[in-house]
Chains A and B, each alone.
Chain A
Amino acid sequence: MTKSNTAPFDDSQRETLRAIAAAMIPASEESQLPGADDPTIFDDILASTGRDTKALADALTMLHSTVSGDLSALRSAGPGTVLERFRSENGATAAIFELAISQCYYRDDRVMRAIGMEPRAPYPKGYAIERGDWSLLDPVRARGKIYRDAGEGKTA
C-alpha cells in the first residue's frame, strides 16, 4: 500500500490539494528544487495531515466547488486569483494548508540539501554552536547593580 492510499481524501480533494501544493511551492529549475506537488513529497503530504485532515478535507471540497472542478483556476496564487482571495478571507484555514504542505516539503532530502541542511534528524549528531566571548559583557558589568532592594529579612 502506498502512503497516498492511506489518506482519507477522495479523488477531487486530492487533486485540489495537489494543485494548491504546486501553486504554493512551485518547482524551480533555477534552484533545482522540486515543487510541493512532486510525487514523493505529495505522497508524504497526503499521509501526514493528521489532526488537520477534516479541516483540510472541508476546505478542499469548498475550493473544488468554488472553481466548479476547473483546477486550472487554482494553479496560480497571484493577485486576483481564487487562491489569493481564499487566503485573504480564510487566513486560519490557509495556515493549515501552509503547515500541511511545508512540513513535508522542507523535510525532503533534495530540499534540505538545497537549503544547506544535512538531510537527517537533529538527534543523535546534534550541531555545533560558537561558545562566544564573554568579554562582551564588560560594559554590563561596569554599569553595576540594576535590581531593586526590597528591604526586610527572612519571613518564615
Chain B
Amino acid sequence: MTAATNDPVDVLIIGGGASGAAVAWSLADTRMRILCLEQGDWVKTTDFPSTGRDWEARQFGDFSVSPNRRGLPEDYPINEDDSPIKVANFNGVGGGTILYAGHFPRLHPSDFRVRSLDGVAEDWPINYETLEPYYAVNDQITGVAALEGDPSYPPKPAVMPPLPLGETGALLGGAMNKLGWHWWPSDAAINTQIYEDRAACINLGHCLSGCAQGAKATTDGTYWPKAIRARVELRTRCRVRRIETDDDRMATGAYYVDADGVERFQPAAIVILACNGIGTPRLLLNSASEQFPDGLANTSGIVGKNLMFHPYGQVRGYFDQQLDGYRGPRIGAWSMEFYETDASRGFVRGYCYQFTRGLGPVVNAVSGMADGLIPWGEGHHAAFRRLFKGSAGMVSICEDLPEEINRVTLDPTLKDSDGIPAPKITYRLGENSQKMLDHSLARGIEILKTAGAHDITVKAPMPSAGWHLLGTARMGHDPKRSVVNDWGRSHDVRNLFVVDGSVFVTAGGVNPTSTIQAIALYVADQIKSRIHNLFD
C-alpha cells in the first residue's frame, strides 16, 4: 500500500467520541505523544436545529440519528436489512454524545455477575467496585445532575441538583407511588447550573439533535478541551482504513484517509480503538492480514459476534391536563422497579424505564397520524389539539443477552465514500428479550392508566433506537472466548487496546455511556500503571 508516512506517535486513538475523549484525557498526563484520528469534524452549536424555526424538521435530516439517513461524507453506510433495530449514531468530535439524551445511569453491581447470579451469558472479568472510582471521576468531568439516595444503586454522589421534575414527572411519579413501584430523578449529563464554563439547561427540549445551549455534556465540550490543553492532538476528517501489524504480531500504526483525501500511514507504539460496537469490529475485520486472516485480534473468531442492542419499548399516552409538552429535556426520571431478575416474570435480567415528556408539534402530528389517532382531513385539527397539550410516556430499555448469531460482519459490496468495506449487521430478538419487552409494555400501560392516560399506544422494538452498540469485542480472561483481557488489551496483539462499548460482556438494562467512559478511564489507568511492562 503506497501512502505518505507521518511522524510516529506514542499513542494512536481511533475515534473521538465518548470513550476516545476520555482515554485521551486520562493518558495526557503521561506526556506521551498522543494523537486521535476522528472521521468526522467538530460540530458548531450554532448549527444545531433548535437555533432555527425548522428545529423539528432538521432532526430528520443532517441531524438524524440514522447514519444511513444522514448520508454525510463523514458517515459510513451500514447494511441493516437483517435487523429489526436500526443503528443510531453520530460521527464527529463527541461521537454519539452529540445526539444522545444525556440519560446517564451506571450499570448495577449485579450486571457484572449475570452467570453467577442468573445462570446466563458470562460474568465480566471486572465488577462494579473496579469501575466505581472511574464512574466518580467521569461524573465530575461530565457534570452529572442527580439526586442522592436512589435506593436502586449503591450510594453515589451528585455533582449538581437533578433536572426539574416538571408536570410530567409529578404525574408519573404519583402513579408510581400509587403502584408502590420505584422511581427516581434520572442521573443526567445535563447541567442544571453553570458548571465548568458550560451553561445551565434552559429546557430547549431538543437534546436529541444537539444542545445549542451547550448544557448537555458532550465530549467535545468536556474531555476534549482538557485533553487538547494537555497537548493531545485531535485530527478530524481522518478515516482509518486498517491497522497494520508486524512479524511480531504487534500493531505498527494505521492507514487512514485524511481530510484532503490523501492516504497516510500513522506509525504508533500503542493503538487504542474507540469506535464503538459497530466501528471497532468493522476496523478489526478490515485489518485482516496473512497473520490474522480472519481479522485483527480475532483468533477467538468472535470479533463482531454477540452484538447487543438494548431493545426499546415505547409506551405513550395522552392526558387531559396540560403537561410539559415539548419543553424540557426528554429525560427526567427513571424506574428500576423491574431491573433485577425475578423468575416469576418468565425471563431473566430486566429493564429500566426512562420517563419521557411530550412532543413537538411536528412529531405530535406525525406520530399521531402513524398511530391512527390523528386523521387526515376533517377532524385533523381537533384530534391534534386533544393530543398536543398532554402527551407523556416512557421507554423501556431492555437487557439484551449476548448471542453469537447477532453480529457485525463486512458487507461484500457496500463501501463508504473512501472505498472502505462497510459493516453489515445481522440481528434478531432473542426469546428472553421479547418476553422482557412484552412485560415492559404491559407494566407501562398499567402505569399510564394509573396516571389517567387515554389513547395509549405501544411500539416495540422501537426500530430507530439502535443507540447502544455493545459486545462485539468483549473482555474476558479466556482468549478463546474474548477479544481483550480484563484491562482492555487484545489477547492477540499486545499493544492494541479497545475502550468502547465493544468490550461489554453483557449489556445491562441502562444507557451505557457512563460505563463506556468509566471503562476507558480504567483502561487508561491500567496502561499508565503497567507502562514499564505493558507489552509483556
Seen from chain A, the residues whose Cβ lies within 8 Å of a Cβ on chain B are 23-26, 28, 31, 33, 48, 50-51, 76-78, 83, 87, 95, 98-99, 102-107, 111-112, 115-117, 119-134, 136-137, 139-141, 143-156
* Residues of B contacting A120 in the complex (Cβ-Cβ under 8 angstroms): 53
Of B73-81, B85-93, B372-380, B420-428, the one touching chain A: B372-380
* Residues of A contacting B324 in the complex (Cβ-Cβ under 8 angstroms): 129
Known contacts A77-B376, A127-B205: does B336 contact A147 (CB below 8 Å)?
Answer: yes
Nearest chain A residue, comparing its CB with the CB of B112:
A150
Question: 0/1 per residue, B78-117, Cβ < 8 Å to A?
Answer: 0000000000000000000000000000001110110011
Are B126 and A147 neighbours in the complex by a CB distance under 8 Å? no
Known: A24-B376, A130-B165, A140-B183. 11 other contacts (CB 8 A): A26-B378, A51-B69, A102-B369, A106-B362, A120-B53, A131-B165, A132-B170, A134-B165, A136-B174, A136-B177, A147-B153
Of B26-34, B244-252, B381-389, B432-440, the one touching chain A: B381-389
CB distance from B481 to the nearest CB of A (A): 17
Are B166 and A132 neighbours in the complex by a CB distance under 8 Å? yes
Of B54-62, B453-461, B466-474, the one touching chain A: B54-62
* Residues of A contacting B116 in the complex (Cβ-Cβ under 8 angstroms): 150-151
Most buried by B among A130, A132, A145: A132
CB distance from B151 to the nearest CB of A (A): 5
Report, nearest first, the 8 A-B pairs whose CB atoms are least far apart: A132-B165, A126-B202, A77-B376, A127-B327, A106-B361, A103-B57, A150-B109, A123-B212
Nearest chain A residue, comparing its CB with the CB of B161:
A131
29 interchain pairs, CB-CB under 8 A: A33-B381, A103-B57, A107-B53, A107-B57, A107-B362, A115-B384, A120-B53, A121-B52, A121-B53, A122-B55, A124-B213, A127-B202, A130-B167, A130-B170, A131-B165, A132-B165, A137-B185, A139-B177, A141-B149, A146-B151, A146-B152, A146-B182, A147-B110, A147-B339, A150-B116, A152-B129, A155-B129, A155-B486, A156-B526
Are B165 and A140 neighbours in the complex by a CB distance under 8 Å? no
CB distance from B12 to the nearest CB of A (A): 24
Which of A78, A126, A143, A151 interacts with B213 by CB under 8 Å? A126
Are A156 and B487 neighbours in the complex by a CB distance under 8 Å? yes
Are B50 and A132 neighbours in the complex by a CB distance under 8 Å? no
User: Is B141 an interface residue, CB under 8 A from the partner?
Assistant: no
CB distance from A51 to the nearest CB of B (A): 6
Are B170 and A140 neighbours in the complex by a CB distance under 8 Å? no
CB distance from A137 to the nearest CB of B (A): 7
CA distance A133 to B384 in the complex (A): 31
Are B170 and A115 neighbours in the complex by a CB distance under 8 Å? no
**Please, how many residues of chain B have a CB less than 8 angstroms from a CB on the other chain?**
83
Are B486 and A103 neighbours in the complex by a CB distance under 8 Å? no
Secondary structure call for the B interface: loop
Are A106 and B50 neighbours in the complex by a CB distance under 8 Å? no
* Residues of B contacting A133 in the complex (Cβ-Cβ under 8 angstroms): 165, 170
* Residues of B contacting A103 in the complex (Cβ-Cβ under 8 angstroms): 54, 56-57, 60, 362, 366
Which of B184, B336, B365 interacts with A137 by CB under 8 Å? B184
User: Is B193 an interface residue, CB under 8 A from the partner?
Assistant: no
Are A31 and B381 neighbours in the complex by a CB distance under 8 Å? yes
Nearest chain A residue, comparing its CB with the CB of B118:
A148
Are A154 and B127 neighbours in the complex by a CB distance under 8 Å? yes
User: Is B164 an interface residue, CB under 8 A from the partner?
Assistant: yes
User: Is B204 an interface residue, CB under 8 A from the partner?
Assistant: yes
User: Is B51 an interface residue, CB under 8 A from the partner?
Assistant: yes
Are B54 and A143 neighbours in the complex by a CB distance under 8 Å? no
CB distance from B323 to the nearest CB of A (A): 10
Are A51 and B53 neighbours in the complex by a CB distance under 8 Å? no
CA distance A152 to B129 in the complex (A): 9
Are B164 and A26 neighbours in the complex by a CB distance under 8 Å? no
Are B151 and A140 neighbours in the complex by a CB distance under 8 Å? yes
* Residues of A contacting B152 in the complex (Cβ-Cβ under 8 angstroms): 146-147
Most buried by B among A106, A125, A131: A106
CB distance from B67 to the nearest CB of A (A): 13
Seen from chain B, the residues whose Cβ lies within 8 Å of a Cβ on chain A are 48, 50-57, 60-61, 69, 71, 108-110, 112-113, 116-117, 125-130, 147, 149, 151-154, 164-167, 169-170, 173-174, 176-177, 180, 182-185, 202-206, 212-213, 324, 326-328, 336-337, 339-340, 360-362, 365-366, 369-370, 375-378, 380-381, 384-385, 388-389, 486-487, 522, 526
CB distance from B379 to the nearest CB of A (A): 10
* Residues of B contacting A128 in the complex (Cβ-Cβ under 8 angstroms): 203, 327
Which of A24, A28, A144 interacts with B151 by CB under 8 Å? A144
Are B376 and A148 neighbours in the complex by a CB distance under 8 Å? no
Are B375 and A136 neighbours in the complex by a CB distance under 8 Å? no
CB distance from B358 to the nearest CB of A (A): 11
Are B377 and A24 neighbours in the complex by a CB distance under 8 Å? yes
CA distance A119 to B53 in the complex (A): 8
Are A140 and B212 neighbours in the complex by a CB distance under 8 Å? no
Are B110 and A122 neighbours in the complex by a CB distance under 8 Å? no
Known contacts A95-B370, A129-B164, A130-B166: does B130 contact A77 (CB below 8 Å)?
Answer: no
Are B164 and A130 neighbours in the complex by a CB distance under 8 Å? yes
Are A76 and B213 neighbours in the complex by a CB distance under 8 Å? no
Are A48 and B54 neighbours in the complex by a CB distance under 8 Å? yes
Which of A26, A132, A140 interacts with B377 by CB under 8 Å? A26
Most buried by B among A33, A126, A149, A152: A126
Nearest chain B residue, comparing its CB with the CB of A148:
B110
Are B50 and A121 neighbours in the complex by a CB distance under 8 Å? yes
Nearest chain A residue, comparing its CB with the CB of B167:
A130
Known contacts A25-B380, A130-B170, A150-B112: does B147 contact A141 (CB below 8 Å)?
Answer: no
Are A149 and B109 neighbours in the complex by a CB distance under 8 Å? yes
Nearest chain B residue, comparing its CB with the CB of A20:
B376
* Residues of B contacting A76 in the complex (Cβ-Cβ under 8 angstroms): 377
Are A123 and B165 neighbours in the complex by a CB distance under 8 Å? no
Are A140 and B182 neighbours in the complex by a CB distance under 8 Å? yes
CA distance A130 to B127 in the complex (A): 38
* Residues of B contacting A130 in the complex (Cβ-Cβ under 8 angstroms): 164-167, 170
CA distance A105 to B52 in the complex (A): 15
Nearest chain A residue, comparing its CB with the CB of B382:
A31
Are B328 and A146 neighbours in the complex by a CB distance under 8 Å? no
Which of B164, B202, B213, B370 interacts with A132 by CB under 8 Å? B164
* Residues of A contacting B362 in the complex (Cβ-Cβ under 8 angstroms): 99, 102-103, 106-107
